[in-house]
Amino acid sequence: MKIGAIIVAGGRGTRAGGDVPKQYREIAGRPVLARTLDVFLAHPAIGPVIVVIGAGDGPRFEALAPLLAGQVETVTGGETRTASVWAGLQAMETADVDAVMIHDAARPFLSDNLITRLADALRDHAAVLPALTGADALMQLDASGQLVAAVNRDEVAAAQTPQAFRMTELMQAYRGLGETALPDDAAVALRAGMKVQTVRGEAGNFKLTTPDDFARAEAMLGAASSITVTGQGFDVHRLEAADSMMLCGVEIREGLGLVGHSDADVGLHALTDAILGAGGEGDIGQHFSPSDARWKGAASDRFVLHALELLQQVGGTILHADITLIGERPKVGPYRDAMRGRVSELLGLDLRRVNIKATTTEKLGFTGRGEGLAAQAIITARMR
């Protein structure tokens, strides 16, 4: 049986806090979504993997992609979970799979064994989901919070993902749904008259929803065993009259340009060297020689992403970045927020973990005379 997997990763996760959707936040130095995909990409029963991402999350996923051990396809989701899964199913239909597992990106701790048990159950059932029974007594409450009645805990269970279905039957169920939005795929199957079988769920397969869940996940993974390192970068480029310049990934049109073999983005060059320094990977000139025609006019975000990939390959994850731009011109203030936003996208960091500041040399030296622009960057990284 050929089984595909759809990972639903389009939500905002506001209850988890932070500026970055929870599926892109890190736990113990690795993004949640990467950890979830690790399990599916490594399992022999799973064929194609499709990730349903939110509108505008393409750059975040592209920054995460180098961490993955295999290739995945992405599609953009809809306004509801039901719409997002339908987008994933339509993309999966072209892969000619027999069955599909649909999983929440924010459940990174599912086991290989759970996927195997679901795959085995699909031989005899068209729809299967993992369910977890509780040890605590269950009570029914009214709207005011008062106890109404005790509930027989042997007759209720908490539904988990991945939920597994034979592809033909699930596609028919979704096609008959119309614009209706339901809480999960098992509800879609039930509405279509399908019988849904359960298998034993896993207590460890919990969904990251609140800050407490993230604290629990960090504790589970032993983040305290890692070490923290820093990297420093410095770069200088000459100024000349020009239509525009790139600075920290943002185009500035003030009649000035920076001279260099690539786009001469002095801020991103300093950042690249800082990342390479944290990973013990030399300097920017070793990886992107100014004598190499391949890099003539190249966008400097390519250098940052390459350095980031090298750092990740040796077990490093950036925690914070601080860039200082040194010069009399151009004025950085009007562009600071856009620069922070672009750098945070490149690094996959919360906006508050990226700082960009500017200073002058009080009219002294080449920067004081307006002949050039310098930049210094310092990054903090966790190494496992």
Joined tokens for residue 267: 């801020």
pLDDT at residue 16 is higher than 70: no
Contact in structure between 289 and 295 (CB atoms under 8 Å): yes
Quick one: 115 and 26 in the same domain? yes
Quick one: 213 and 321 in the same domain? no
- The confidence score (pLDDT) of residue 157 equals 86
CATH of the domain at 92: 3.90.550.10
Quick one: 204 and 265 in the same domain? no
Quick one: 281 and 356 in the same domain? yes
- Categorize the per-residue pLDDT at 17 as very low, low, confident or very high, splitting at 50, 70 and 90: low
Tally DSSP H helices, then E strands, for the chain: 12, 19
Handedness of CA 48, 54, 59, 63 (dihedral sign): negative
Work out the average pLDDT over 309-318: 89
- The confidence score (pLDDT) of residue 314 equals 86
Quick one: 196 and 256 in the same domain? no
Instruction: Write down the mean pLDDT value for the chain.
Output: 92
- Categorize the per-residue pLDDT at 284 as very low, low, confident or very high, splitting at 50, 70 and 90: very high
The pLDDT tens digits of the residues spanning 230-251 come to: 999 999 999 999 999 999 999 9
Q: Determine the straight-line distance between the first and last CA of the chain, rounded to whole angstroms.
A: 38
- Categorize the per-residue pLDDT at 12 as very low, low, confident or very high, splitting at 50, 70 and 90: confident
Quick one: 104 and 138 in the same domain? yes
pLDDT at residue 223 is higher than 60: no
Quick one: 215 and 233 in the same domain? no
- The confidence score (pLDDT) of residue 383 equals 84
- The confidence score (pLDDT) of residue 15 equals 67
Distances (CA, A) of 211 to 14, 15, 64, 142, 194: 10, 8, 22, 27, 36
Domain-terminating residue out of 179, 209, 224: 224
pLDDT at residue 81 is higher than 90: yes
- The confidence score (pLDDT) of residue 225 equals 60
Domain-terminating residue out of 175, 204, 224: 224
Containing structural domain, residue 163: 3-224
CATH of the domain at 354: 3.30.1330.50
Give dist(CA 222, CA 111) in Å, integer.
Answer: 18
CB neighbours of 77 closer than 8 A, spacing ≥ 6?
8, 10, 52, 53, 54, 55, 83, 84, 87, 88
Give dist(CA 121, CA 199) in Å, integer.
Answer: 8
3-class secondary-structure state, position 284: helix
Quick one: 21 and 144 in the same domain? yes
Quick one: 208 and 265 in the same domain? no
The pLDDT tens digits of the residues spanning 116-150 come to: 999 999 999 999 999 988 767 788 888 888 888 88
Q: At what angle do helices 336-347 and 301-313 cross, to 10 degrees?
A: 40
Quick one: 271 and 247 in the same domain? yes
Quick one: 212 and 254 in the same domain? no
Q: How many domains does the chain have?
A: 2
SS3 content of the chain, % helix, strand, coil (to 5): 35, 30, 35
Quick one: 42 and 107 in the same domain? yes
Domain-terminating residue out of 190, 224, 258: 224
- The confidence score (pLDDT) of residue 221 equals 83
The structure tokens 């922070």 sit at 340
